[in-house]
């Protein structure tokens, strides 16, 4: 399913590339691991080969899916009736899912809420984390650097803001 060189997405860590496959001994048993180079924080993570799917690791999305996700930042509305604690749990579940559509909903909803009131610290951190995770996937899917990928997300969010004011 996964091979060295694959572009992957690890929920809560963002996008990365499988750099190597290594055998390590742990408690007298040998196990195969993938070495994942994650774009966020330039972090290398070793994951047992047999646990990749169980951890929710997937291949990065196709370009058409990414473009659809960015376009959907303009659709739907934030549920303003949910209080901060509920919103935090709902958003954390969306982030853990690894589903790019759900992660983009976190960005859309928190951006919408931030227009009407100042976000609390946990919401600000959640928004920043969701944005960084989406940016990392944009980088790998479109072959952009971080600044260019950030600009792509910013443009999609700005379109959302323009549509919201119309």
pLDDT digits 0-9 by tens, 126-149: 999 999 999 999 999 999 999 999
Domain 63-165 fold is Methane Monooxygenase Hydroxylase; Chain G, domain 1 (1.20.58)
* Other beta carbons less than 10 A from residue 1's beta carbon: 9
Three-state secondary-structure class, residue 17: strand
Three-state secondary-structure class, residue 105: helix
Supply 36's token pair: 């994942």
**Does 63-165 match 7-59 at the fold level?**
no
pLDDT digits 0-9 by tens, 5-42: 999 999 999 999 999 999 998 889 999 999 999 998 88
Kindly list the domain boundaries of the chain, sorted by start residue: 7-59, 63-165
Query: Where does the pLDDT of residue 60 fall: very low under 50, low under 70, confident under 90, or very high at 90 and above?
Result: very high
Phi, psi of 164, deg, nearest 5: -65, -25
Supply 102's token pair: 């759900």
Pick the CATH number of 7-59 from 2.40.30.110, 3.40.190.80, 3.40.50.720, 2.40.10.170: 2.40.10.170
């Amino acid at each position: 399913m996964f091979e060295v060189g694959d572009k992957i997405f690890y929920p809560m860590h963002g996008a990365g590339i499988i750099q190597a496959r290594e055998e390590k001994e742990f408690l007298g048993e040998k196990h195969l691991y993938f070495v994942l180079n994650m774009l966020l924080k330039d972090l290398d993570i070793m994951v047992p080969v047999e646990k990749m799917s169980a951890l929710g690791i997937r291949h990065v999305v196709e370009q058409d899916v990414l473009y659809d996700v960015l376009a959907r930042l303009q659709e739907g509305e934030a549920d303003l009736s949910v209080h901060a604690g509920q919103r935090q749990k709902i958003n954390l579940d969306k982030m853990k899912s690894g589903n790019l559509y759900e992660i983009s909903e976190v960005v859309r909803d928190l951006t919408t809420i931030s227009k009407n009131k100042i976000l609390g610290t946990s919401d600000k951190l959640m928004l920043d984390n969701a944005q960084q995770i989406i940016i990392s996937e944009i980088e790998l899917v479109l072959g952009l650097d971080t600044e260019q990928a950030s600009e792509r997300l910013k443009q999609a969010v700005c379109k959302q803001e323009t549509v919201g004011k119309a």
